[in-house]
Structure 1
Amino acid sequence: MPGRPQPPTARLRRLAAELLRLRKTADLSREAVAEQTGINKATLYRIETAKARPQARTLKALLELYAVDEDKRDELTVLLREANQQGWLQTFSGELPDRYSTYIGFESEAAKLLTYEALIIPGLLQTEDYTRALIRGMMPDGTDEEIENRVAARMQRQQVLEGGQLRLWLVVDEAALRRSVGDPVVLQAQLEHMQQVAKKPNVTLQVLPFEAGPHPALLGAFVILKFGELGAPDMVYIESEAGDLFLDDEPSVERYDNTFEHLRATALSATASVEFLRRLAREIP
């Protein structure tokens, strides 16, 4: 039985974007490239949309056709060599839903995450007990093994916050903070944990209080992923029961960038947010 396909990495997405740009700069259609290289037009489409990883000889043929200089060839060859690196996610292969695996693969490569969460504590801030209680509630028919695998994966995800390479900016709605997940001890520990994570120099946490009223993100949570020096296009991730969305077209990313700017301008300051969490933790009976 064949294994499930691996989600595209940020490196593969950058390689795809570069090959598309180079073809357009050379003013060649896919049909023209197919005629001159023998590369199937459908295969070229899959390569340029990061749905397929090109073979080394295919990449060489394309770069020769596009008259790419040696330095750029070396750069893209390295991208191809590293395009399938999945990191720690391979440990959980086959145990996590495809859509979740795809997202956390991108998350592990991002340089910056801008997160708005409306209903639950964001995964990168969750305690183990909170995560376990949350997943049990969301997967009432899940086995103990399935639930523990999800818990372990979420705890592993949080390693991206260590070392300071990832810049994380979160806006969390008051509704997420007040939702009862687990018993009062679990919730209180969760709120205290958030206060500690907020002290990390690479983390900015803001609370969006009820009194802020209507805002542009009332329809739901989202994450903007920015890949920095990797050069892959920025991406917006939206999770839903109907299926997850990954948007990387410029108008969509710009729209969500603007929405996030509005949210962080409306939310409490980082200092006031920590005080809000402290006060809320004291209110738990």
Structure 2
Amino acid sequence: MPPLPTQARKRLGVGLKKLRTDADLTVNNVVDELGWGRHKLIRIESAQVRITQLDLRKLCKHYGAGSRETARLNELLEAADTRPWFQAYADLISVQLMEYIELEAMAAEIRMANTSVLPGLVQSEEYAAAVYASQPHYPDPDHAARLVEVRMKRQRVITDEGTILDATIGEGLLHTATGGRDVLRGQLDRLNHLVDLPNVTLRVLPFSAERAILTGGVSLFTFPSDSDPVDPPVAFNEYEGNMLLRDGDIEVRRFNRLLQHLASQALSPEDSKQLIQKRMDDV
């Protein structure tokens, strides 16, 4: 999958900085030669501003970049200028959700837990519609329908891209008939299909778990280790109507420990699959 614009701009800036340092040039060396302002190059390398095709060619030539490296940086520039699919919904979804979706699409592994509502990546279309219909934030049916579209498109990172998903859900979610009995049965069938995917691990936190309290939802994104640069993990804490990015080292470690703890309290993936099947048989 090609990098998203933010990711591409960041990689482009890092690539240009590496070319400069490999050429043993300082920022002042380059801007003096090209007649640029110092802050222009600094902002390009830190992905704060867009670089033109002409300026990219000037830098590559000045650094003595080979044809392969120049072509790679040109591809990143093109990717940085594209509009991601979710921009079409910018009038509807929050800035926080757009950031979440972009990081979700960039992740190599997604770990999450929720005991109040099924995570969006595993929801059936009918279940997602029922969830939005029950929320006071989106009373307009047209808005709800478009939000369901967004949720279904997000699931392609799991079904099409093969991103690793490790999710822990509360057992109560297998019993709560959100949208009615038929919607619940369809949702259970959706879970049954997803757990058969090699990149999906699903655990159910049973009613009998003695130390498993979770308020809201937690997601933790880990990014490819072979990317340049390597992006550190980030976490999101979801609550009614909003979400918060948690990217501090201490916060990420705490949420990582929370996810590990909840997984340790949950049924094994095999037992979880059996429980889901049993609920399907009972509904």
TM beyond 0.5: yes
- The answer (yes or no) to whether the contact 2:110–2:219 under 8 Å persists in 1 is no
Superposition CA RMSD, Å = 3.8
Partner of 1:244: 244
Are 2:203 and 2:266, in contact at CA under 8 Å, matched by a contact in 1?
A: yes
SS at match of 2:155: helix
Deviates more, 1:188-197 or 1:206-215: 206-215
Q: Which amino acid aligns with 1:244?
A: L
- Matched position secondary structure for 1:233: coil
Number of equivalent positions: 277
Structure 2 distance, partners of 1:20, 1:264, is 41
DSSP-derived class of the 1:172 partner: strand
Residue 102 of structure 2 is matched in structure 1 by: 105
For residue 120 of structure 1, what is the amino acid of its counterpart? V
2:231 to 220, 233, 244: 233
Name which of structure 1's ranges 104-113 and 254-263 shifts more when overlaid on structure 2.
254-263
Aligned: 1:88 with 2:120: no
- Measured in 2, the distance between the counterparts of 1:246 and 1:266 equals 24
Matched, 1:127 2:127: no
Partner of 1:268: 267
- Say if 1:250 and 1:41 are closer, same or farther in 2 by CA, change over 3 A: farther
1:4 alignment partner in structure 2: none
TM-score of the superposed pair, with normalisation by structure 2:
0.75
Rounded Cα–Cα distance in structure 2 between residues aligned with 1:179 and 1:98: 30
1:126 Cα shift? 0.6
Measured against aligned partners, the alpha-carbon deviations of 1:66-94 in whole angstroms (never above 9, x if no partner) come to 66555434322321222234453354353
For structure 1, the residue ranges without an aligned partner over 5 or more in a row are 1-6
Change (3 A) 1:174 1:38: farther
Query: Shift of residue 127 of structure 1?
Result: 1.1
Distance of aligned partners of 1:119 and 1:54 in 2 relative to their CA distance in 1, 3 Å threshold = farther
Which has the greater radius of gyration? 2
Percent sequence identity is 27
How is 1:131-210 mapped onto 2 (pairs within 5 angstroms)? 131-140=128-137, 142-163=139-160, 165-210=162-207
**How many Å separate the matches in 1 of 2:272 and 2:111?**
17
Residue 200 of structure 1: SS of its match in structure 2? coil
Query: Could you tell me whether the CA contact under 8 Å between 1:11 and 1:230 is conserved in 2?
Result: no
TM-score by length of 1: 0.75
